[in-house]
Structure 1
Amino acid sequence: MSGPIKCSILGAGLSLQAFHYPFIATYPDLFTLHSVLERSATASKSSARDFTGLEGLKVVNTLEEVTGDDEVELVVISTPNLSHFEYAKKCLSAGKHVLIEKPLTPTYAEAIELIDLAKEKNLILAPFQNRRWDADFLAAKGLLKEEKLGQLLEFVSRFDRFRPQAVPNTWKEAPGQLNDAIYNLGSHLIDQALVLFGKPEKVGGWCYNLRAPEGLDDSFLLHLYYPRSHPLSKPYPLLVTLQASIINPGSKQLRYQIKGNKGLYTKYGLDVQEATLRKVDWNTGLPEDVTPVGKDGWGVEADGAEGELELVKEDGSWETVK
């Protein structure tokens, strides 16, 4: 490769607009958006071209136009979950590096087949685990590294919503398509737990439906059990709870609750990066209240949104730290 990596994005929806193009545009020395697969696009109408403002953007209607293009080096797959394996296999077979929106694939066997193929072709295959760079996750990671809470007892990580009504006409709400919450938000929560604690000793859980349509589990609860020998909890057993509920009332939604033998960390609300990027129209420019990606102040929460750390002092009293 020479010069910026030429990227093709499969899909022209939210993933293009809020998760991929902003970062490609931010680092032009490293990446350039070469093309977008947008099946409904025509020569005169393209939502990808309208959003990016790139008049020379190549917009195609078929995957074959991407895999057969020698200029494309990296393919970003942001299509429905059931297409991930097929599309990734075709792209890897064509010699393209592949980045896939979570989940990598719906099944373990498919993931292993893609990993083996990428190794055989000497190509990069990676899931897009962007939540590893959320400010709240990095704060929790830092607390554990610094052992601020002492030895851990319990770790709770949640991604909750209050959406009593299903969203119509979207593949993410279609039953029977492996779009369940465990594949969606669960991919982030599980990945974060594995980054922090490694593989658990035992796993228990429940996937369930709180609203129509039937056949789509929009909520889940997972318990990951770690032994007393785990370095972050020794000599205590460690329970990690991961949960997402689509109907969770309340103006404040719990994100983290981390308990140790020397303190408690509590955080409400979600990282602000996604919400910020959803406000940006890259064709017309950044709103005045949006800090450019990668600049000082990017992703910084408003005052009052930070987590609260409660530490026990030597005399047994408690100290609260924002």
Structure 2
Amino acid sequence: MSEQIRVGVVGFGLAGRIFHTAVIDATPGFKLQGIVKPTGDEAKAAYPGVPCYRTIEEMFADTSIRLVVVATPSHTHFEIAQRCLREQRHVIIDKPFTLTSLEASTLIDMARERNLLLSAYQNRRWDGDFKTVQQIVAGEELGRLVNYRSHFDRFRPEPRRGTWREGGGPGSGILFDLGAHLVDQATTLFGTPSLIDASIRIQRDEGQADDAFDIRLTYQQHHCLEVHLSASTLARIPGPRFHLNGTRGSFVKFGLDPQEDQLKSGLRFDAPGFGEDTESAWGTLQILDEAPRRIATERGDYRAYYENVRDALTGKALLAVTPVQAWRTTRLIELARRSSAERRTIAVDLHGQPE
């Protein structure tokens, strides 16, 4: 067996604990070699055999660590990633990749100069519902797609005080949090849109960070396909997660991918039923005058992201989530914020996109 890739994870909050260390630990070919957590002993308790550090400099002293995962508050991603690249480490950055496209370009240039891997953690490409939607779009059973709606609804009427995500500072808010996933999924399916129109809002009483958004992407190259992306924290009865309309029919899917809740509950990837949707949550497809039929949801598996990174580092595969794709998502979020602030539809301008 080839030597394992040793990984250090910076941050042990929700992202580091649930979406990274648990997934890395379950993916063959990786060895969790270090965790940076400035305070508390949660990391040491969860992984007693893994060195835990208070500072990133302490972790850098272990030169066997080849890959560093940045799972810290969003506004720190750029600075920490720069430090990792300067130390000649491959880097994965949890979403959002960076807060600006200029920061993203800077990191891409640094990684290329040093021949290092750089990627954004877009694990929701491996949600079972999105994998199902990908198959439906690719199969063209709906005919020419005219409308794609992707919603991420929650009900959290009270802002979580004292958290960086809802504090109103740089990198906070639902657009950077969930919008990064929805934009990435849309561009994975359809590429770069022609036009963008957005409304980004604070809807909750005493809210400090944006907690709702609606984004419309128009694809003139696809017969003016319209893509609607939205998220809300005040949806007591959630709408469909996906709703697609085409010239021959429609597909609708309710419910969220189960992996996040399963990981939070401590369920392992090898447990029976992990990543599998309940039959009651399967989507419904109806074509022309045919009877509606239920479509089994593909099994989701976040390990696929890290499996691809492993294979890219060992020369067996191309990187699935490229830094240029991460730059594009960052740029579209910038344009969405501008559209909302100026209250107008704007043409998508990818000026400055790295080659």
Superposition pairs of residues 130-209 of structure 1, within 5 angstroms = 130-209=123-202
Compared with structure 1, are the counterparts of its residues 145 and 114 closer, same or farther at alpha carbon in structure 2 (3 Å cutoff)? Answer: same
Asked if 1 retains the 8 angstrom alpha-carbon contact of 2:68 and 2:89, the reply is yes
| Structure 1 match to 2:329 | none
2:305: which partner in 1? none
Give the Cα–Cα distance (whole angstroms) in 1 for the partners of residues 275 and 207 of structure 2: 37
Which position in structure 1 is the counterpart of 2:15? Answer: 15
CA distance in 1, matches of 2:277, 2:145: 26
CA shift in 2, pair 1:258/1:32, >3 Å: same
Q: CA deviation at 1:243?
A: 0.3
Alignment check: 8 A CA contact 1:68 1:94 kept: no
Tell me which of 232, 240, 250 is aligned to 1:254.
240
2:292 equivalent in structure 1: 320
Aligned with 1:307 (options 261, 280, 283): 283
Q: Provide the alpha-carbon RMSD of the alignment.
A: 1.5
Tell me which amino acid in the other structure corresponds to 2:225.
Answer: L
Do residues 127 (structure 1) and 120 (structure 2) align? yes
Structure 1 position 295, deviation (Å)? 6.8
Once residues 125 and 275 of structure 1 are traced to their aligned partners in structure 2, the CA distance between those partners, rounded to angstroms, is 28
Q: Which has the higher contact order (CA 8 A, sep 6+)?
A: 2
- Kept after mapping to 2: 8 A contact 1:67/1:96: no
CA shift digits 1:172-221 (9 cap, x unpaired): 11112221211110000000000000000111101110114454111111
Structure 2 unaligned spans of 5+: 295-355
Conserved 8 A contact 1:17-1:278: no
Letter in 2 for 1:19: F
Residue 40 (structure 1) aligned with residue 26 (structure 2): no
Say whether 1:68 aligns with 2:61: yes
1:66 shift after superposition? 2.2
Choose which of 228, 236, 248 in structure 2 pairs with 1:241: 228
- Give, as a single letter, the amino acid of the residue that structure 2 aligns with 1:169: G
In the alignment, structure 1 residue 117 sits paired with structure 2 residue 93: no
In 1, the alpha carbon distance for the partners of 2:44 and 2:131 equals 34
Distance 1:24 1:178 in 2: 25
Asked if the contact 2:252–2:283 (Cα under 8 Å) also holds between the matched residues in 1, the reply is yes
Deviations 1:108-127 (A, max 9, x none): 00000000000001000100
Structure 1: 4+ residue segments shifted above 3 A: 212-215, 294-297
* CA distance, structure 2, for counterparts of residue 212 and residue 90 of structure 1: 39
Give the corresponding residue for 2:25.
25
How far is the alpha carbon of 1:249 from its aligned partner? 2.3
Question: Which structure carries more helix by proportion?
Answer: 2
Contact (CA 8 Å) 1:208, 1:218: kept in 2 or not? Answer: yes
Note the C-alpha offset of 1:237.
Answer: 2.0
TM-score w.r.t. length of structure 1: 0.87
Question: Are residues 1:51 and 2:38 paired?
Answer: no
Is the contact between residue 216 and residue 229 of structure 2 (CA under 8 Å) also seen in structure 1? yes
What runs of 5+ residues in structure 1 fail to find an aligned partner? 231-235, 281-289
Partner residue, 2:258: 272
Q: Percent identity?
A: 36
- For the pair shown, the structure with the greater C-alpha radius of gyration is 1
Counterpart of 1:268 in structure 2: which amino acid?
F
Write the distance in 1 (CA, Å) between the matches of 2:204 and 2:272.
Answer: 42
